[in-house]
Amino acid sequence: MTERYRSVPHATMAASYCQGTIRGTDPASFNSEDAASRLRKAMKGLGTDEHQIIRVLTEHNNAQRQEIKDKFKTCFGRDLIEDLKSELAGHFESLCLYLLMPARYFDAFCLKNAMKRLGTKESHLIDILVSRSNMEIQDIKTVYKELFKSDLEDDIKSEVSGDFQRVLVGLVQGGRSEEQAVDDEAAKADMREVYNGGEGLLFSTDEDVFNKVLVTRSIPHLRKVFELYKEYASKDIEGAIIGEMSGDTQKAFLAIVHYVKDPLKFFAKCLFDSMDGAGTDDERLMQLVVSHSEVDLQDVSEVYQKEYKATLVEHIKKDTSGDYRKLLLQLTQGGGTNGVKESS
C-alpha cells in the first residue's frame, strides 16, 4: 500500500488507498547475500541467465535492491551496475539499471535524461514535476545538484522558454499549499480570477493568472475552483485551457488539472500515451512503470482497463518485445513473491 497518497495531503483522493505491484520480500525472509549470489551466478561464465535477473529484481522492492547492490560488492568485489552493463543491452539493460536507482535519484536522472538529448522530452518533465510532493521536489533538486553539478531550475531555463518555462519553474519551487481545508470564498475569488484571465478577456490570455492559481493552490482548493468554474462559465476548466492556450503550455496546465481531478486516471493516460501512435516512447514507459510499481501501479492498471478497454498488460505485450517485455510484464503484474509467473 503506497505512502504517497496517504502521507502527501495534496495527492490524497477522498481517503483512497493505493497499492503497487511490487511489494518486496518479507523482511523476515529477506537475504541480501542470497539474492546477490543469484545475480552473480546469473552473469558468471558463458551466457547470461536473464530469467534469474528478472526474478531477483522483481522479487525485491527498491530498498531491498539497494542492500543487494551493496552486498554484491561486499561479497564479490564487483560493481553490480557495471556487471549488468557488460552483460545486457538495449531497453532491457536500461530497465534493470533503473530498478537499481533509489526513487529520487531515478526522478533526477529522468529529468536530466529528458533534457540532455537532441530535443527536450517535454512530456517526461511534465509527468514528474506535476505529480511529486513538495518534499519530493526538494529531494529531487538536492540529488540533481549532487549528481549533475548544476541546478535543476537553471537546466530547465536553458532548455525550454516562454510560458511553458514559467510553469515548470513554478513547479520546481515545490511550494504548493498543502492546506486541506477549503475556503469557499477564496475558491470563488480564484475561479473568477482564472475566468477573467482567460475566457473573460476579449483578445488575449493572462497566463500568469493560470500559473499562480494552478501551481500554488492546494489540491482540495483547486478541485473546488474547477467545480465552481464549470458552474460559472460556458466551458469546464479543460475547455478553457484548450481554448486559450496551445503547445507545451497547454499540455502542462492540462496535466495539472487532470492530476488534480484524478491522479490514477492521469497516470493511466500517461501510460497510454507512451504507447499510442507510431512507435513506443520506451523511456517514458519505463519511467512510469518503475516510478509507480511500488506506489499505485495496481490501481492505475485497473483504471487503465476501464478507460481504454484493454489491459495495460495487453498493450505492453503488443508494443514491446524480448526480455525487456518480460521484465515490464513482471513489474506490471507483480513479481516474485506476488506469485505472478513471467509472461512471454
Handedness of CA 300, 305, 307, 312 (dihedral sign): positive
What integer pLDDT is reported at residue 201 of this predicted model? 65
Residue 60 and residue 336 in contact, taking contact as beta carbons nearer than 8 Å: yes
Asked if 1-100+281-344 and 103-172 have one fold, the answer is yes
pTM of full prediction above 0.85 = yes
Query: Which residue ranges in the chain fall short of pLDDT 50?
Result: 1-15, 337-344
Residue 123 and residue 273 in contact, taking contact as beta carbons nearer than 8 Å: yes
Closest listed residue to residue 109, CA positions, set 96, 124, 122: 124
What integer pLDDT is reported at residue 18 of this predicted model? 81
DSSP readout, 135-151?
A: HHHHHHHHHHHHHHSS-
- Angstrom CA distances, 153 to 156, 208, 254, stand at 5, 18, 21
CA distance linking residue 201 with residue 198, whole number of Å? 6
DSSP readout, 241-252?
A: HHHH--HHHHHH
pLDDT tens track for 317-338 = 999 999 999 999 999 998 654 4
pLDDT tens track for 191-229 = 999 999 888 665 668 899 999 999 999 999 999 999 999
CATH tag for 1-100+281-344 (out of 3.40.50.2000, 3.90.190.20, 3.50.30.50, 1.10.220.10): 1.10.220.10
Extents of the domains making up the chain: 1-100+281-344, 103-172, 184-261
What integer pLDDT is reported at residue 119 of this predicted model? 74
Residue 114 and residue 102 in contact, taking contact as beta carbons nearer than 8 Å: no
What integer pLDDT is reported at residue 133 of this predicted model? 96
CATH topology for the 184-261 domain: Annexin V; domain 1 (1.10.220)
- Class for the domain spanning 103-172: mainly alpha
